[in-house]
Amino acid sequence: MKQNIKNYCRELNIDYVGIAGIGPYYELEKILKDKIDKGYYTGLEEDDIQKRIDPRLTMENVESVIVCLFPYFSGNVENTNISKYTHSLDYHILVKEKLEKLSKMIKKEIDEFEYKIFVDNGPLVDRYLAQISGLGYFGINNNIINDEYGSYVFIGYIMTNIKLEKDDILDKTCINCGECIRKCPGEALLGNFEMDPKKCLSFITQKKDELNNEEKNLLKNNPTVFGCDICQDVCPHNKKINITGINEFKEKLIYNIDYDEINTISNKEFKRRYRDRAFSWRGRKLILRNLDIIK
């Protein structure tokens, strides 16, 4: 069945699929507890640790997790004020659609196949799943890196009640050059595969609460309206990577959000224009706040 799943993925233009076991993931529990103790949590993460390390708490009869990568690199551009992961169609939409199609193909073959699909919004730790299913390895910048597509890959997964053979972890990490640590404007990367996400500019651009002066200055000095790509852009593992083969990630690209436009349209109009874009989930006001700071 595993080979059939790989074949279906090929048909759907999903190059990288791996199988993760169902834990409980006790080694991850240690990392999560340590992060919470140190205050390295933003509030955007699922806060129930047990749910994060035990897929059975989300799907009682789960037997395997099918994990897929979705590369999104469509080239480097000079003048952009939003980060790469928001240039194209919202990945939540695309990944869900693709994984739904994959699940329907499997269901056709195995009638008792049950499944739950997640991308970004699930209880588990997506990067951990990508690592243990052998799809990529960790960078010091915290991102999962794939040899062909670099770290510009989204991660989606399917919990299923069918038992599949687990894949092996890749026995490597990034080359540890330290360039991401030196270039990170928020000094968020700690050099031991950990980070303080509250210092990460990406978080600051997405944070709802009012920004303090230090955060405002950080944004002003490193202008970005949504997200941050610096630690990935400087990474040598991202230098000779392939462009994504997923058309939706190469079409209808938006590189800039314009202050005058956002300032003059209503919240409703903002939603209408940008609801299928990953930068819109926090709403117009937050985008305007960031634009106001960097203008």
Helices (H), the chain: 2-11, 26-38, 49-53, 91-109, 126-132, 179-183, 201-206, 213-221, 230-233, 259-264, 267-274, 284-294
In the chain, the amino acid numbered 274 is Y
Residue 235 interacting with ligand B12 (CB under 6 A): no
Length of the chain: 295
* Nearer to ligand B12 (CB atom), residue 5 or residue 117: 117
* Nearer to ligand B12 (CB atom), residue 207 or residue 284: 207
Options 202, 205, 238, 280; binder of ligand SF4; rule CB under 6 A: 202
Task: Report the alpha-carbon distance of residue 169 to residue 88 in Å, rounded.
Answer: 30
Residue 257 interacting with ligand SF4 (CB under 6 A): no
Provide the mask over 136-175, with x wherever binding to ligand SF4 is found by CB under 6 A and - wherever it is not.
-----x----------------------------------
Contact partner at residue 185 from ligand B12, ligand SF4, none, CB < 5 to 8 Å by partner kind: ligand SF4
What residues numbered 195-224 form the site for ligand B12, per CB under 6 A?
Answer: 195, 197, 200, 202-203, 206
Per annotation, catalytic residue among 54, 111, 120, 168: 120
Contact partner at residue 230 from ligand B12, ligand SF4, none, CB < 5 to 8 Å by partner kind: ligand SF4
The CA–CA distances, whole Å, from 94 to 10, 111, 223 equal 16, 25, 28
Tokens standing for residue 262:
């956002």
What residues numbered 145-184 form the site for ligand B12, per CB under 6 A?
Answer: 151, 153-155
* Nearer to ligand B12 (CB atom), residue 85 or residue 249: 85
CA-based nearest residue to 150, from 239, 83, 269: 239
Taking the complex as a whole, how short is the minimal distance between the CB of residue 158 and ligand SF4, in angstroms?
A: 28
Does residue 19 contact residue 165 with C-beta atoms inside 8 Å? yes
* Nearer to ligand SF4 (CB atom), residue 96 or residue 183: 183
Options 28, 145, 155, 184; binder of ligand SF4; rule CB under 6 A: 184
CA-based nearest residue to 162, from 123, 114, 101: 114
Q: What is the largest CA-CA distance in the chain?
A: 58
Residue 82 interacting with ligand B12 (CB under 6 A): no
Cβ within 8 Å of residue 292, ≥6 positions away: 259
Q: How many CB atoms lie within 10 A of CB 50?
A: 11
* Nearer to ligand B12 (CB atom), residue 5 or residue 82: 82
Give CA 73 to chain center in angstroms.
13
The CA–CA distances, whole Å, from 194 to 75, 100, 107, 170, 234 equal 28, 33, 39, 19, 18
Does 90 participate in catalysis according to the annotation?
Answer: no
Residues that bind ligand SF4 (CB under 6 A): 141, 184-186, 188-189, 195, 200-202, 228, 230-231
Residues that bind ligand B12 (CB under 6 A): 28, 31-32, 35, 42, 44-45, 83, 85, 119-120, 122, 125-128, 131, 138, 141-144, 151, 153-155, 192-195, 197, 200, 202-203, 206, 227-229, 231
What amino acid positions are annotated as catalytic residues?
120
